[in-house]
């Protein structure tokens, strides 16, 4: 996967603006009065949302110093001191498991990758293995395994470039929900369509989900969509033009990411959490239904 370019001149990588007072800080939060991008240090709590120091100083707003109110992202998530912490953890987890794969060998990978239904006698598995045999955990564990150094490198660079800004914009809980739901949707579509003895692994489904949500966020903030569209086209050409790539995981993750992303950034404030996590629950329900249908077909 390629790097996700931003859509602002002052932030070439993320697609997010930077604080108008601190150009080295990305933010997904804007002043409710003038819509300037503001970082946590510059936020001043108001009766509705947050205002920038300029609006408060000039009397155009009614803000007051933040006390009990906690700064919130554009999606309603809590603003963290380290807005990229969860992305760092996900990258570290993927790298650690790749080291385990390298050290232990194919036996470890074949116990946790995504496979529908197959016998693998060469690896000591004399009985049928796969999701169809009740090993549903493979839908999740396969998201953290990789097939080669190039595979892990490309996915982790993409996760860092796309995931960090999204985590800052959504907040950790919503970001993690987006990542997991998108990855599971990619796994479910792969299980449904791919040959049952075709193994699949990688974080690409989840990363394509982040990509889809990034496109929604860029459009929501009215930035130039052309770089995002161009990158999407390039990645889709790679997905369908190279052999050995699980296009099902990419498409499943992308669709889920767009759906969840819309819920995250467009949910009405008064029902924000209900809409956001309700949408995640609906996508997860679709994952379960697809998995049950394919299992019934294979068994």
Which residue numbers are catalytic?
204, 250
- Quick one: three-class SS letters along the chain? CCCCCCCECCECCCCCCECCCCCCCECCCECCCCCCECCHHHCEECCCCEECHHHHHHCCCCCCCCCCCCCECCCCCECCCCCCHHHHHHHHHHHHHHHHHHHHCHHHHHHHCECCCEEEHHHCEEEEECHHHCCCCHHHHHHHCCCCHHHHHHHHHHHHHHHHHHHHHHCHHHHHHHHHHHHHHHHHHHHHHCCCCCCECCCHHHHHHHHHHHHHHHHHCCCCCHHHHHHHHHHHHHHHHCCCCCHHHHHHHHHHHHHHHHHHHHCCHHHHHHHHHHHHHHHHHHHHHHHHHHHHHHC
């Amino acid at each position: 996967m390629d790097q996700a370019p931003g859509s602002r001149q002052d932030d070439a990588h993320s697609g997010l603006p930077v604080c108008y007072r601190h150009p080295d800080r990305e933010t997904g939060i804007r002043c409710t009065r003038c819509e300037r991008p503001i970082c946590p240090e510059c936020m001043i709590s108001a009766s509705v949302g947050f205002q920038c120091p300029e609006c408060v100083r000039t009397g155009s707003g009614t803000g007051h110093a933040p006390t009990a109110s906690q700064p919130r992202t554009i999606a309603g998530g809590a603003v963290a001191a380290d807005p990229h912490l969860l992305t760092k953890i996900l990258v570290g987890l993927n790298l650690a498991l790749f080291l385990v794969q390298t050290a232990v060998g194919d036996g470890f990978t074949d116990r946790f990758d995504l496979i529908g239904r197959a016998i693998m006698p060469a690896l000591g598995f004399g009985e049928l293995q796969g999701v169809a045999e009740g090993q549903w955990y493979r839908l999740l564990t396969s998201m953290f395994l990789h097939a080669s150094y190039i595979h892990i490198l490309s996915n982790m660079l993409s996760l860092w470039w796309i995931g960090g800004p999204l985590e800052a914009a959504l907040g950790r809980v919503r970001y993690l929900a987006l990542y997991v739901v998108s990855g599971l949707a990619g796994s479910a579509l792969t299980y449904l369509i791919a040959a049952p003895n075709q193994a699949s692994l990688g974080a690409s489904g989840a990363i394509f989900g982040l990509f889809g949500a990034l496109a929604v966020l860029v459009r929501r903030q009215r930035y130039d969509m052309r770089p995002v569209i161009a990158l999407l086209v390039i990645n889709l050409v790679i997905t369908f033009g190279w052999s050995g790539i699980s296009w099902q995981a990419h498409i499943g993750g992308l669709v889920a990411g767009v759906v969840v992303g819309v819920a995250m950034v467009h949910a009405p404030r008064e029902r924000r959490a209900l809409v956001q996590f309700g949408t995640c629950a609906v996508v997860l329900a679709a994952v379960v239904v697809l998995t049950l249908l394919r299992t019934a077909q294979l068994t």
